[in-house]
Structure 1
Amino acid sequence: MASRNRAALVVGMAAAAALALAGCGTTGGGSATPSAQPVKTEIGPGEGQLSILGWPGYVEDGSNDPAVDWVTPFEAETGCKVSFKPFGTSDEAVTLMRTGQYDVVSASGDASLRLIAGNNVEPVNTGLLKNYPDVYPFLKDKAWNTVDGKNYGMPHGWGANLLMYSVDTVTPAPTSWRAVFDDAARHSGKVTAYDSPIYIADAAVYLMAHKPELGIKNPYALDKDQLAAAVDLLKQQRQHIGEYWSDVVKEVQAFASGSTVVGTTWQVGANIAAANGTNVQTLLPEEGATGWSDTWMIGSESKNKNCAYLWLDYIASPKANAAVAEYFGESPANPKACDLTTDKAHCETYHSGDEAYAERIWYWTTPVAKCLDGRTDVKCTDYSEWTKAWTEIKG
């Protein structure tokens, strides 16, 4: 991040949203059904306007910080006047996109399949986006942005959900998620976890490594027995949770006060903690981790699709992608952005070009009834079932 205060401002806004999921299920609990609409074959002149729905910190026009503005150059370059509405959760984003009032949306993987299944977004001809070839290959053609071989948008930023611990309290240094699961009793009352149904996938990642007999191959593809095992693990963990977090800034404050000593976080949280002088360390544990990869998607009812395509291409351009990634606190999708960040160590900090690191991340993907691991002999649990389970876990 360019500065600790900027990090606190942006993450405070984004973490109020928390990338959290509140109780909305997948459409019909089913699998994603691709749109039947024809894919655009050329980009014509801009329509003069563009309505954007996005995470706070993704569409900055200088209003929050006069020095942070990548919207004004886009408007000057394209003639597309931007109107922006931030959303607080992925569920809110899905609900708002279903109104048909927005041209583009920044969708995390826990929302994108719901939007595709509801035909709320349309396939994107990535051949029309000149910056698409530069995007990291490990962000393309993935379950959260591609269905039946059709791409549904432009990859944006990405990051991992890390394990953070107090160096002075948690010894020896952990190497595994065991610190917050099987060994959580060692720091009972001072363990923290992300407050969202999607956190069930974190338990599934742990079980994949430590209980292979469960047969979990994808933490977002859980049948009823596998979900039950994850729920049991999280109920055991619940006895030792001091508090669940949805605001990473408040989580960092808890580490500073000592009321929390171990739990999941984002890299930007670790950066804020370090800037505040809190003695913590982070790691990507040996089992791997969950994480996020956002995608810019185009509304199926958009009347401004030329401007929408122009935005998707612009936001992945090196200069704009660098500005967003640094301001928000994530890895850019375009490696050329790394040369343009103010902090020249930004991409190293966020492991931007480390494909081996990225391959250890299970990016958030909406759980749906059609098993994402390819199984056809069972029905997997969908997001509505995860939401019900999370309420049960928290009690």
Structure 2
Amino acid sequence: MLSRFSVFGVLAAGALVIASTASAQSDRLVLLNWSQYIDPALIEAFEDEHDVEVVENFFNSNGELFSMLQAGGVRQYDVIVPSNYFVPRLIEAGLVQPLDHDRIPNLNNLMEEFRDPGYDPNSEFSAAYQWGTTGLVYDRAALGEQPASWSVLFDESVNPDAPFALPEDGQVTLGVACAWLGHGYDCTDRDELEEAARLVLEAKDRRNFAGFIQGTPVLQQLVRGSVSAAITYNGDYLFFKTDDPEGYADIEFVIPEEGAEFWVDTMMIPAEAPNAALAHTFINYILDAQVGAQLSNWTYYSSPNEAALPMLDEVLQNPPVTPTDEEMEVLEFTPSLLGEDLRFMQQLWREVESR
């Protein structure tokens, strides 16, 4: 759900300044994306094809993206890349505009399940960009061979000493705790969420709890040995392992049998985007079959683009990038909470963080 490589991002405040300068020019597209989440060659090709400049700004979490739009970014950015469970929040808040499907014929390249997703029926406001999974990552040298289970994080008898971390994203962490408790990753029942919060507090109180660390930077801590188990994203894991096979030789990624997250990052257009026409052109460009394949081959994430599948590198067609049928059965979207349900979850997580 999040991208990946956010540790290399820039400060949001600086990004807003850049966007403010760029947005007044009709020959510029201002893209607000997760850092290191698009092949620079694709940006250059789009600029050359349409004789425009693409200005890239970055955010580090969906919450930060939401705040940036509320702070004026809704009038400064042309394309944004939120995760699926934030799509309904952005729509409800009036921060995004419907897509003009006539301007995006390549929407038809998307697999059927991505053309009409539950978080945005008929892709009225969003177009799928990349998809992936969030799973358990651990150091086999420190913990030995572990089963595909969240037990290494929540069962002290399984891991009494090795340092472990949990993500800063409250909804993901509570979802994982719900899965371990047998309620399913996508639990929304308040009693179940409160039970999950108590479990996270118990984990937080253990002496080998290393802190709340997001999925990308924790991979670097795993290879340094300061963390032995954590939660991360399948594409980031493969990216780092491919880049440093020796350093990550004992680092394993698994989808726990109790359940885990299946996420989709999407492309949307802010409600008052200064260049909505060019934004539609850019989204259509990303959904081209060859472009979609090049994008995934660079990011190490799965493509929702059915037309791109024959051109994907072989490594992307196998685990951990493409889950097995058995793994797909236990994967769930992070629920798209709104209204009182969202406020309840946010308050619950604030209490977890503050204790």
Same fold (TM over 0.5): yes
Query: Of residues 316, 326, 350 in structure 2, which corresponds to 1:346?
Result: 316
Matched, 1:259 2:219: no
Q: Do the aligned residues in 1 keep the contact of 2:115 with 2:123 (CA within 8 Å)?
A: no
Q: How many residues align?
A: 327
What root-mean-square deviation, in Å, do the aligned CA atoms of Structure 1 and Structure 2 show?
Answer: 3.0
Instruction: Name the residue aligned to 2:92.
Output: 117
Counterpart residue identity of residue 265, structure 1: T
Counterpart residue identity of residue 198, structure 2: D
Shift of 1:363: 2.6
Matched, 1:140 2:106: no
Q: Tell me, what secondary structure is at the counterpart of 1:252?
A: helix
For residues 186 and 140 of structure 1, do their structure 2 counterparts lie closer, same or farther at Cα, with a shift above 3 Å needed?
Answer: same
Q: Tell me, what secondary structure is at the counterpart of 2:341?
A: coil
Return the alpha-carbon distance in structure 1 between the equivalents of residues 157 and 205 of structure 2: 9
The one-character-per-residue Cα deviations of 1:248-287 (angstroms, maximum 9, x if unpaired) are 2x42333234432222222244332462243122211112
TM-score when normalising by structure 2: 0.80
Q: Tell me, what secondary structure is at the counterpart of 2:230?
A: strand
Q: Tell me, what secondary structure is at the counterpart of 2:87?
A: helix
For residues 290 and 350 of structure 1, do their structure 2 counterparts lie closer, same or farther at Cα, with a shift above 3 Å needed?
Answer: same
Shift of 1:356: 6.5
For residues 350 and 321 of structure 1, do their structure 2 counterparts lie closer, same or farther at Cα, with a shift above 3 Å needed?
Answer: farther
Alignment of 1:10-21 (within 5 A): 11-12=4-5, 14-15=6-7
Instruction: Name the residue aligned to 2:341.
Output: 381
Return the alpha-carbon distance in structure 2 between the equivalents of residues 217 and 255 of structure 1: 24
Shift of 1:353: 8.2
Alignment of 1:1-395 (within 5 A): 11-12=4-5, 14-15=6-7, 48-59=27-38, 68-98=40-70, 99=72, 100-126=75-101, 128-146=103-121, 151-171=124-144, 173-183=146-156, 186-198=159-171, 199-207=173-181, 210=182, 218-219=186-187, 221-223=188-190, 225-240=191-206, 241-246=209-214, 248=216, 250-271=217-238, 272-273=240-241, 275=245, 276-341=247-312, 343-352=313-322, 357-358=327-328, 360-369=330-339, 381-382=341-342, 384-394=343-353, 395=355
The one-character-per-residue Cα deviations of 1:342-361 (angstroms, maximum 9, x if unpaired) are x4322324544867644532
The one-character-per-residue Cα deviations of 1:346-394 (angstroms, maximum 9, x if unpaired) are 232454486764453223344223xxxxxxxxxx621x44333333323
Q: Do the aligned residues in 2 keep the contact of 1:159 with 1:331 (CA within 8 Å)?
A: yes
Q: Do the aligned residues in 1 keep the contact of 2:80 with 2:269 (CA within 8 Å)?
A: yes
For residues 92 and 175 of structure 1, do their structure 2 counterparts lie closer, same or farther at Cα, with a shift above 3 Å needed?
Answer: closer
TM-score when normalising by structure 1: 0.72
For residues 331 and 135 of structure 1, do their structure 2 counterparts lie closer, same or farther at Cα, with a shift above 3 Å needed?
Answer: same
Return the alpha-carbon distance in structure 1 between the equivalents of residues 80 and 33 of structure 2: 5
Higher helix share: 2
The one-character-per-residue Cα deviations of 1:292-322 (angstroms, maximum 9, x if unpaired) are 2111011221242221111111112223223
For residues 155 and 356 of structure 1, do their structure 2 counterparts lie closer, same or farther at Cα, with a shift above 3 Å needed?
Answer: farther
Instruction: Name the residue aligned to 2:21.
Output: none
The one-character-per-residue Cα deviations of 1:84-133 (angstroms, maximum 9, x if unpaired) are 22222222212233322222211112432221111111222445423222
Shift of 1:232: 0.9
Instruction: Name the residue aligned to 1:43.
Output: none
Instruction: Please identify, of 84-93 and 167-176, the stretch whose mean Cα deviation from structure 2 is larger.
Output: 167-176
Shift of 1:140: 3.4
Q: Do the aligned residues in 1 keep the contact of 2:218 with 2:230 (CA within 8 Å)?
A: no
**Aligned residues with identical type, % of pairs:** 20
Q: Tell me, what secondary structure is at the counterpart of 1:107?
A: coil
Counterpart residue identity of residue 290, structure 1: E
Shift of 1:176: 1.8
Q: Do the aligned residues in 2 keep the contact of 1:159 with 1:293 (CA within 8 Å)?
A: yes
Gap runs ≥5 in structure 1? 1-9, 19-46, 61-67, 370-379
Q: Tell me, what secondary structure is at the counterpart of 2:283?
A: helix
Instruction: Please identify, of 287-296 and 264-273, the stretch whose mean Cα deviation from structure 2 is larger.
Output: 264-273
Q: Tell me, what secondary structure is at the counterpart of 1:330?
A: coil
Instruction: Name the residue aligned to 1:33.
Output: none
Return the alpha-carbon distance in structure 2 between the equivalents of residues 337 and 187 of structure 1: 45
Q: Do the aligned residues in 1 keep the contact of 2:4 with 2:34 (CA within 8 Å)?
A: no
Q: Tell me, what secondary structure is at the counterpart of 1:381?
A: helix
